[in-house]
Structure 1
Amino acid sequence: MIIVSDSSPLVALSIVGMLHLIERLYGELRIPEAVLEEVTVSGKPSSRELEAFLENKTQAVRNRIAADMLGSAIGKGEAEAIILALETNASAVMIDDRKARRYARMRELPVTGTVGLLIQAKSRGLVENIYPLIYKMERSGIRLSPRIVEIALREAGEKPPHP
């Protein structure tokens, strides 16, 4: 199976040391060139780790016109991820941005995100709990919808610790 990812899930998973989950769950990760450029900018969180992890996982988008047109509506990395997922018949595309997820679904692509991947990992026994990972992401500046976190914890059978 192949999964194509946008930059934000890669950064979030890198921050919590869980990049390995992508290939454990999907087998093969591919990213478009725009995503590599976004995540390896010097000074960005985890840029060195991501550069090493993403070596040999980059693939150019063939349909530049479609990517550029879609990129005018959503981010360049998200647009290229959607087009690359279509071109490679990927099993899923991993995107966190709500608007980009809608565009992917309109093209009938299975969509997951950072939190969805963590839920899958827990259901397969690859992580014990997702709450500590979500908490670390939030403490590191990753913005997650409280509603999404609540739903995710419910699906994972977890409750946040009470203060």
Structure 2
Amino acid sequence: MPPVIIADTSCLILLEKIGELALLPQVFGPITVTGTVAKEYGLPLPEWAQVKHPQDLKQLQVLALTLDPGEASAIALALEQPDSLLIIDEQRGRRVAQQLQLTVTGTFGVLLQAKRRGCLATIKPVLARIRQTNFRISAELETQVLRLAGEL
């Protein structure tokens, strides 16, 4: 497991909405977020989440030209943390992070890790709760996640 796990806002919001925020520390231990992500999250951060600010403000400004502020700050911080894992869901942000050779996963990757580690018995009911939110998941992605989880 990478030494630093950095989360973007969407993962925090989605897991909070479905009552599964505690999966993050169960799977990864402490999570790092930027001040911008903490502000976007809008709720008090749990004790296992620490706030760290990216130091390279020029890099942050460049990323912010094409990404939302939370994504830009999370990617900027991940660039400063060798061997970090970035949890990011939005396609554009993931693409930029991958082009910058960052290691990324998304909320569904978190769920798959949670199942592999025994923190979740099954993913299918969690996906059903996600469909009740405003988070968009295609039928293809849902099928892929269920297949990877061994639930199809």
Relative to the length of structure 1, the TM-score reads 0.85
User: How many equivalent residue pairs?
Assistant: 150
Secondary structure of the corresponding residue to residue 150 of structure 1: helix
| Residues 120 and 55 of structure 1: CA distance in aligned 2, closer, same or farther (over 3 Å) | closer
Partner of 1:22: 24
Partner of 2:38: 36
The percentage of aligned residue pairs carrying the same residue is 32
Contact 2:24 2:31 in 1 (8 A): yes
Runs (4+) off by over 6 Å: none
Residues 1:59 and 2:52 aligned together: yes
Partner of 1:143: 136
Secondary structure of the corresponding residue to residue 136 of structure 2: coil
| Residues 54 and 12 of structure 1: CA distance in aligned 2, closer, same or farther (over 3 Å) | farther
Contact 2:32 2:50 in 1 (8 A): yes
Partner of 1:155: 148
C-alpha deviations, 1:111-132, integer Å up to 9, x for none? 0000111011111111001111
**Separation of aligned partners in 2, 1:31 and 1:54:** 12
Contact 2:30 2:49 in 1 (8 A): no
| Residues 149 and 14 of structure 1: CA distance in aligned 2, closer, same or farther (over 3 Å) | same
Contact 1:68 1:76 in 2 (8 A): no
Counterpart code for 1:62: Q
Contact 2:33 2:49 in 1 (8 A): no
Secondary structure of the corresponding residue to residue 122 of structure 2: coil
Contact 1:2 1:27 in 2 (8 A): no
Q: CA deviation at 1:26?
A: 2.0
Relative to the length of structure 2, the TM-score reads 0.91
| Residues 131 and 112 of structure 1: CA distance in aligned 2, closer, same or farther (over 3 Å) | same
| Residues 91 and 26 of structure 1: CA distance in aligned 2, closer, same or farther (over 3 Å) | farther
C-alpha deviations, 1:9-58, integer Å up to 9, x for none? 11111112222222222222100111111111xxxxxx3xxx14167611
| Residues 54 and 108 of structure 1: CA distance in aligned 2, closer, same or farther (over 3 Å) | farther
Partner of 1:84: 77
Contact 1:2 1:26 in 2 (8 A): no
Contact 1:130 1:156 in 2 (8 A): yes
Segments of structure 1 that go 5 or more residues without pairing to the other structure are 41-46
Q: 1:94 aligns with which of 84, 87, 92?
A: 87
